């Protein structure tokens, strides 16, 4: 059975839109692929340790010459990398914070992007072709023609890191204007915001079923 790695990065526990839509994916995944395994990480409530000099230098140091600090840093990185390598599919919940990804997600990516393990120079990455669904939520609007068109550094960055560097088959499920119902200045956008959110839930459900069906077919 397929193994799904689900990583959320919102700081919020109850009001996160990215988590809400990711849950729709998980529910449909479980229904379509009941034997599947899921590993879950919530970087908002349990952030991983930042990559350090000890880990980088320790990785280039013979094992019998490493310091205790280097060994500890490498153990943390190895755990996270192995978790990524074990997965067959990926689900990431990513809100925009200050026009970029949450810092906790960047820290996690720094840990799991490791030369010759998850990325390779000039060769096919070990994760190449594995499906990754990324749920993106934006408080404002970044559509073509809006005042903040071009301010989105979330999807372009993840397209490069996940799709090009790691070689994943990435699909983005996106919703915008999520602050419309809480910000009086955005009240005119509430109907559009609700429509976008509903479409994102629908897309997440379809994507989950499609990926699960692939694994069910492969297992039959």
- The per-residue pLDDT for range 56-70, each reduced to its tens digit, is 898 889 898 999 999
Q: Is 177 within 8 Å of 196 (Cβ atoms)? A: yes
Over residues 194-208, mean pLDDT: 97
Q: What confidence score (pLDDT) does residue 162 get? A: 98
Residue 220 has pLDDT above 70, yes or no: no
Q: Could you tell me the pLDDT band of residue 216, with boundaries at 50, 70 and 90?
A: confident
CATH number of the domain enclosing 136: 3.40.50.360
Residue 145: which pLDDT band, with cuts at 50, 70 and 90? confident
pLDDT of residue 29: 95
Q: How confident is the model at residue 22 (pLDDT cuts 50, 70, 90)?
A: very high
- Contact call for residues 173 and 133 (beta carbons, < 8 A): yes
Q: Which residue has the tokens 């379509």?
A: 32
Is a pLDDT exceeding 80 seen at residue 218? Answer: no
DSSP state of 48: P
Strand order in the sheet with 3-8: 37-42, 3-8, 89-95, 131-137, 169-175
- The pLDDT value recorded for residue 126 is 94
Spatial distance between the Cα atoms of 44 and 76, rounded to a whole number of angstroms? 18
User: Is the per-residue pLDDT at 200 higher than 70?
Assistant: yes
Domains held by the chain: number: 1
For 87-108, write each residue's pLDDT tens digit. Answer: 999 999 999 999 999 999 999 9
Confidence at residue 1, expressed as pLDDT on a 0 to 100 scale: 82
pTM for this entry:
0.95
Regarding predicted confidence, which is higher, 94 or 215? 94
- pLDDT-derived band at 8 (thresholds 50, 70, 90) equals very high
**Residue-level pLDDT at 76:** 92
Query: Which domain range does residue 140 map to?
Result: 3-219
Helix 103-112 with 68-86: angle, nearest 10 deg? 90
């Amino acid at each position: 059975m397929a193994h799904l790695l689900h990583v959320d990065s919102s700081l919020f526990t109850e009001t996160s839109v990215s988590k809400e839509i990711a849950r729709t994916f998980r529910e449909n995944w479980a229904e379509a692929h009941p034997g599947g395994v899921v590993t879950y990480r919530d970087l908002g409530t349990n952030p991983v340790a930042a990559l350090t000099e000890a880990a980088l230098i320790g990785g280039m140091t013979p094992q019998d010459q490493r310091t205790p600090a280097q060994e500890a840093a490498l153990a943390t990185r190895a755990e996270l990398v192995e978790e990524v390598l074990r997965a067959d599919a990926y689900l990431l919940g990513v809100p925009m914070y200050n026009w970029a990804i949450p810092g906790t997600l960047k820290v996690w990516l720094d840990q799991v992007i490791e030369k010759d393990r998850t990325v390779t120079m000039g060769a096919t990455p070990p994760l190449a072709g594995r499906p990754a669904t990324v749920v993106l939520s934006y408080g404002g609007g970044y559509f073509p023609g809006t005042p903040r068109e071009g301010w989105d550094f979330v999807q372009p960055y993840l397209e490069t890191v996940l799709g090009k560097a790691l070689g994943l088959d990435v699909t983005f499920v996106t919703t915008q204007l999520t602050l419309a119902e809480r910000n009086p200045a955005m009240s005119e956008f509430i109907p559009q915001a609700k429509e976008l959110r509903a479409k994102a839930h629908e897309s997440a459900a379809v994507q989950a079923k499609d990926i699960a069906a692939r694994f069910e077919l492969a297992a039959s």
